[in-house]
Amino acid sequence: MVNFCPQCGSKLQPGFKFCPSCGGRLPEDATEAETSQPSEPFPNSVLSSLSAMEDQKSLPSSRKRKTSPLVKEEKEVTKKTLSIVTQTPGKKFLTSPGKGKTSPLVKEQEEAKQTCSVTLQTPDKMHTMSPRTCKASPQVKDEAAKHTSSVIQSPSKCKGKKRLCTVEPVQEGLVVCDQSSKKWKLVELLWQTELDLTYAVCQANQHADSKECKYMLRLGAKEGHLFNEQNFHLRAAKPDAVEKWLKLHKLDFLGIPSCVGFGLHEASRFLVFPSMGEPLQTAIDEGTGSLSEKAVLQLALRLLDSLEFVHEKEYAHADIHAGNIYITDSGTEVFLSGFGHAFRFCPGGKHVEYRQGSRTAHQGNINFISVDSHKGAGPSCRSDLQSLGYCMLCWLTGSLPWSHLSHTSSIAAEKEKFISDIPGLLICCYKQKKASSALQEYLSTVMTLQYTEKPDYALLKAGLHESLQKMGGSLKESLNL
């Protein structure tokens, strides 16, 4: 075995008491140096030895010895090694002088970079795209750039925000299979929004046209709002839970749709529901743009029944508007759907604290969401009831004071201004017409609710029901839209 000097690392012959390179005295119990590659690329002992090589010039001339050619060659290698070790950490590769292997530390850093690169490419860490490429809004692009930067800087905290994107139609006649292995055939595209598509569907072994289809399928981005809606139905709105609620409260109907199937198709997610009729927005658009007070009261009472159930299950809907409300062909049943922004505000019976910025601000239909949603606070019971109030006001008058505004901050400011000025809000909407006393009473009540307060649903419904009865209307008769 060959010994090495503990100070400069030069090779020694057995029996030497002084190092022929640095002139240092060798310890009598010097152990043999390992001939294998060290576990660390450059241990501290080697670094100190390399430093000693630089300091040997200051040794007295009497201690300097004649250096052999072999030792000179080793000194040159040592200097090269020292120059490599002292390079900045930003160099891509650090190699051992003896063997050209990448050090374990560098390998670990390279693996971390590769892991981060893979993370950026996974669907749940980037914009969720449809099978065909779609364009993201400038706001989404900016947020994506910020997210990408944070991932590169900290590979261990690669938490991405889910993005939504326009979903393009798929071919009619396509058969998809849900998680219970039931197959559904897409018969006809009924409606299309920026976020999802609604198809008339039937079971694959049946033949039916769109009017005969008893089911509807909503298709959206895989990691988009349908994922949140699916979780809501699985946790809180199972058919047996709805049936139990009907018996407990002695109701003839509850407008919570039953999800009968869900699954994935390529980069999309789908949910299947029994047919619920047409969206209320379609009826408004095809009509005069507004509804009668009698129809609005009927709608509000049905929706309050649904919201009471949803809130009792610890969720807030957080996106109430005419596009998420369905009316059956008979006009007697009103469904509340579109739980893509549903928020569990009271998990385990403990209400979340009010904290602005805890969620993405301005989520939902910008004209009807509550001020809490504008500020990024978790929606609660009062958020849904205030949104319903905005809907009722818009259905009755055809517009809202902020309908013409385009900036979200301006819309939020207008809503906040009118929270404490309900008479002013009604005058702004009704102009010279007489405002609905039932609506004014409702708005005055819900605008003063506290964030964690449980509403008195019976009181809210009683005021609306009394006004409906004075008009000679009831919940059993068909809606006159």
CA–CA distances in Å: residue 401 to residues 284, 364, 433: 19, 18, 15
Structure tokens, 185: 């055939």
Torsion of Cα atoms, 452 then 443 then 326 then 454, to 10°: 20
Helix axes 422-430, 408-418, angle to 10 degrees: 120
Structure tokens, 244: 């139990």
Helix axes 293-312, 381-397, angle to 10 degrees: 170
Beta strands in 337-451 (DSSP E): 343-344
Neighbours of 386 (CB within 10 A): 24
Backbone angles phi, psi at 124, to 5 degrees: -85, 5
Given a contact cutoff of 8 angstroms between Cβ atoms, the answer to whether 260 and 272 are in contact is yes
Helix axes 437-446, 293-312, angle to 10 degrees: 20
The Cα–Cα gap between 479 and 460 comes to 20
Query: What is the Rg, in whole angstroms, of the alpha carbon atoms belonging to the chain?
Result: 36
Residue recorded with tokens 């364009």: 135
CA–CA distances in Å: residue 222 to residues 2, 128, 165, 338: 65, 7, 10, 16
Given a contact cutoff of 8 angstroms between Cβ atoms, the answer to whether 362 and 383 are in contact is no
Structure tokens, 111: 């693996």
The Cα–Cα gap between 60 and 375 comes to 76
Counting every residue written for the chain, the total comes to: 481
The Cα–Cα gap between 276 and 336 comes to 10
Q: Which residues pair with 262 in a beta bridge?
A: 271
What are the residues whose beta carbons fall under 8 Å from the beta carbon of 378, sequence distance 6 or more? 316, 343, 345, 352, 354, 355, 358, 359, 372
- Is 319 among the residues known to form the active site? yes
Catalytic: which of 319, 329, 421, 456? 319
Structure tokens, 33: 């140096």
Given a contact cutoff of 8 angstroms between Cβ atoms, the answer to whether 335 and 380 are in contact is no
Active-site annotation, residues: 319
